[in-house]
Every structure is written in structure tokens, then in C-alpha cells.
Structure 1
Amino acid sequence: MPLLDRKGLKQNPFVRAEVVDETAGPNVIVPWAQVQAALAARAKDQQIGVDLPNNVAYGDVLALADQLALVTIDFPAFTDGRAFTLARRLRNNGFQGVLRARGNLIADQFPYAFACGFDEVEPSEAVYARQPEEQWLAAAGRITHTYQRNYGDAGNILDQRRAARLAKEQAHDK
């Protein structure tokens, strides 16, 4: 599957495997059901990622988060937004690794994925065939301001308006 970040297509440094051993490579993604065994069997410098269904309890993932280099969260359908919530909760609770959205997202959801804490998106082959890289990159730049806090570096619209109003009041008081 293609892999996109804010800059466009990128190489996937991870490989998927059912079992982790020395032949699996330095960066391995395992299914959620195999993550405990993979963490126990990993080599010293091996990085482990996990493919999560979007209905896993985030507390279960958070308990392992400091041992994971990558968390991939599944989007079985573009209308199922549970993965956005899971990603946001992981980020808000300190997950520092790479968060990847995977599956049936559409290009219009690209900026929302970043806003929720995802670093990259791995759309399905079928979706990518209909929406190539150019559409994803165009969508990424469409949303520049948000009403929610903690969604980007520029601050949200309400805080920007409040700051402008306070600056105006302070200038008027002088």
C-alpha cells in the first residue's frame, strides 16, 4: 500500500510479519494479537510496530506504548471515525511514536488525520487508485484554522480572536 505524510509519498521502513525473529528485519509491524509475543522476542535494536483494529481499548495500547515505535490504526470504512478518537487519546496520553492511519480513508480526511495526531496515512490500494498523491496533498492544505484546541501550531480560531481582542483593548487603554 502507498504511504503518505504531509510531504507526499514516502518509503515504508517497516515490514509486516506474524512472528518476530532475527530474520524479520529491524522494523516489524505485527498484528495486535501478536504484540506481546513480538515484544518479548524482539532483538536488541529491533523496533516493533502494531496493527490495531479501531475498536481496541486505548488503555490496553497505552500500557505498551513506551515499547512501540509505530502504531497503525485501521479504518475499515471512511465513515468509521473511531480510529481518530483512538489516535487523539494516545497522543493526549503521551504516545511519542509514529501514528499511522491505515485503510479506507479518503483524501478529504487527510487533514483531520494530522489534527488527531497521525503522522502518516496508508490508504488502501483501491482508494489510492481513485485519489492519487496530488489529491491527498491538496486536501492536506485545505484546513488551516480549527476551533478545537491542540490541533496544530497556530492555535485555534477562538484563542486567536481572544488574543486579538485583548491586544486591541490593551492598545486602547494606553
Structure 2
Amino acid sequence: MYKIIDEKLGLASCRLSDLTIQQVNCILNQFEDNAPIDTLTLFYDKRADIVVLNSDSKDFDIYLGLAEAFLKADRKKAQEFVDKIPFECGETLEVLRDAKRARKIKEELRINGHQGIVGCNGTYLRDVFNEIIRKSVGFSHTMILMSQAYTYGVIQGKREERARRKGGATHA
């Protein structure tokens, strides 16, 4: 359905007539009220993890160049794009930024999936996690728990690194 432009960058194109009704409705729901579909420059297909440019757009080449440069850019360069780009391209940059963020999250989850499980019953970490949960009673937001567990993991990582440098053992 999409014509691949750059597989490594996850860039493709398609004509508006190639989109399904469901795709068009989904895209229109993200537009400001009464915006016509033919003003679409690009969108991010999260399921396929691909940025799709509207090949019918009169400014296709401009948006292709922008997408390629933005997706190749590191965080500092990407922010320079945001700061220098004309206001009219703001929504396009938001889509590209969202795509980069979704890809970063996907990569982090892939890496995390290769890590061992910690905090099993009977372990010291399980006791620490249970205490974090106990102290958080009354908080309704899971992010607080996740943040505290993450921070604890960072602390443990620093402790392990210090112990490794000293040649000592760690407790986890």
C-alpha cells in the first residue's frame, strides 16, 4: 500500500486515494476542525512504524527533505529544526517528533525485554518494591510507583558500578 522511500528511516509515500476510509477518518480526527484531507503532508502509521508522506502534495519534495533531515538528526539538531522552521510546518514537525519518540520507546522496550526479571518473592528487591508500594498507598497514579522503582534502579546501578571499581561485591 505504501511506496517505500527509505527503509532505514522508515519513510514511505502514498496517494490520498490509496488510504482506506478508516485511515482517513483517523487522520481527520487529528486535524483541526474543518481541515480538508488534501492539506495532509504526512502522517505516522504507528502500527507499521512508518512515516508516510502524501505524494499528492504540491510540496512533496520539500516535506520529504524535511522528514529525511529531521529523522536523521540527533536531539540537538532536531531541536534546531523546531526553532528555525516556519510556523506552517509546525504540525508536520510534531508528527515527526512523535514518530521519533515512539521509535525510541519501542527500542527501549526491546532492550528492556532482554533484561532479567528482578524482585521475585524472597529477594531483597521484592522487599524494597513492596515498601515503595506500601508508602504509595493513596496515590492514584502508577507513574509515581514506576518513577520510584526506576530511581531505585538507577541508585542500584550506581552502587554496583562503584563496587565494581573498588573490586567489591554488591547486594541486590
TM-score normalised by length of structure 2: 0.31
TM-score normalised by length of structure 1: 0.30
Structure showing greater relative contact order (alpha-carbon pairs closer than 8 Å, 6 or more residues apart)? 1
